[in-house]
Amino acid sequence: MKPVRIGLIGVGTVGASTALVLKNNALEIGRRAGRSIEVIHASRRTISQGMPAGTEAIPLTADPFEIVNNPDVDIVVELIGGYEPALALVMKAIENGKHVVTANKALIAMHGNEIFAAAQAKGVNVVFEAAVAGGVPIIKAIREGLSANHIEWLAGIINGTGNFILTEMRDKGRDFQDVLAEAQALGYAEADPTFDVEGIDAAHKLCILGSIAFGIPLQFSAVYTEGISAISTEDVLYAGELGYRIKHLGIARRTESGIEMRVHPTLIPEKRLIANVDGVMNAVLVMADKLGPSLYYGPGAGANPTASSVIADIIDVARTIDTDAEKRVPHLAFQPGQIADIPILPISEAITAYYLRLRVDDKPGVMADITRIMGESEISIEAILQKEPEPGITQATIIMLTQKIREKQMNQALAKIAALSSVNDKIHRIRLETLDAN
């Protein structure tokens, strides 16, 4: 059987590792794929940097369109990231009848519907395991391993940078800006960390996970996104006193009214396994109706972990390269004609519990006013923690945990509480999820 020939676009950290693993593990990979797999052409922006040691014989170009137009290439592997020229390259590869493997979560989240429609029309496959959670095979688990199940919800730590920052804040009492600077120095965060700390990277990934979990079109613009830059060390410590940890979660949940898709800081009980996922590691917890809860854990980035997922996708394509397109695993888990346009709910319709931190005047009647407003708004209080002021300070800190309530009701209640003359500064709110079976 003739080899499967790879065209590699991008020979950075992940691309170089992919080329090396394909060469060094060629025998084992061939045994799994049923045929040999070899890189026959590669591109990188700075051609003078060459290919990694051991793969120098691979022809290299500075023009990635040479790869997608090479008639000898069977599978194009796109590892340059971003929207352009990645989109143009992928669409041209599909037009030329080539299969595509990509690790580009932004591309799939923003343009996946267009890409998959073109791929189906052309009878080629586009696979993207490495786009979410690096080396963790979460897409394959949901798309194939859980295909007998009705997915109820999933919650994931899917950005290692944010998780590293929150872990350091909790374990060492450091503030956000201090840890962010270290994350940048260590290479965990970019010079512009916006995509990581403001939740955009996680929202790209959640968009993909939600689509394959519920069989809906990719809708990145509908994902509610909130970052961690406003989280204080104070909140992290108070959460710990109450038996919770703060994690930056992506949450997708099916409800009777539609689907919640939201990324934000979240309190979760410290006894949950996912609450103990620290540092730069990723984890996704999936609740399925027949299996129940299952947790998928591992490195969410890095050269070898991501290359592991890229090559697993290459092997999958190699196994089915001569198979009729209708017999392959659908791009978004569900058959194309079965993708349902279920509404994505606005954040105002989300139902969750809350952590609230208030700074109030230390005088009689303040707590009564706050609890009265909560009662009138039909919000039940689960726990209250009051921090007495230090001598000479006239303000006290109140921490409250509520039971589940619709967000728009909470917004209305907080507006009334904030209007009280005894309430000072901004009310700090963090959503709370128990992540149990209910």
Among 239, 275, 261, smallest CA distance to 354 is for 239
- Kindly list the catalytic residues: 205
- Residues 346-363 have pLDDT tens digits of 999 999 999 999 999 988
Identify the pLDDT of residue 325. 78
Q: What does each C-alpha distance from 399 to 70, 110, 241, 355, 419 come to in angstroms?
A: 62, 39, 11, 7, 18
Residues 205 and 293 in one domain: yes
Is residue 374 a part of any domain in this protein? yes
**How does 173-189 read in b/e, with b if 16+ C-beta sit within 10 Å?**
ebebeebbeebbeeebb
CATH number of the domain that residue 366 is part of: 3.30.70.260
Do both 116 and 221 map to the same domain? no
Q: Give the model confidence (pLDDT) of 53-100 as tens digits.
A: 989 999 999 999 999 999 999 999 999 999 999 999 999 999 999 999
What is the total count of domains within the chain?
3
SS3 120: helix
Q: Is the backbone of residue 365 left (phi > 0), alpha (psi -120 to 50) or beta?
A: left
Residues 149 and 290 in one domain: yes
Kind of pairing, strands 37-43 and 60-61?
Answer: parallel
Q: Which of 156, 159, 157, 165 is nearest to 186 (CA)?
A: 165
Residue 427 is classified by DSSP as E
287 assigned to some structural domain: yes
Q: 410 and 324, same structural domain?
A: no
Q: Do 101 and 58 belong together in one domain?
A: yes
Whether residue 116 is found in the same domain as residue 238:
no
Please indicate, yes or no, whether the overall pTM of this predicted structure exceeds 0.85.
yes
- Residue-wise pLDDT tens digits, 18-36: 999 999 999 999 999 999 9
- CA atoms of 161 and 281, how far apart (whole Å): 9
- Residue 412 belongs to a domain: yes
Q: Residue 400: which domain range?
A: 350-432
- Average pLDDT of the chain? 94
Task: Provide CB contacts within 8 A for 111, sequence distance 6+.
Answer: 83, 87
Same domain, 321 and 390: no
Note whether residue 211 is domain-resident: yes
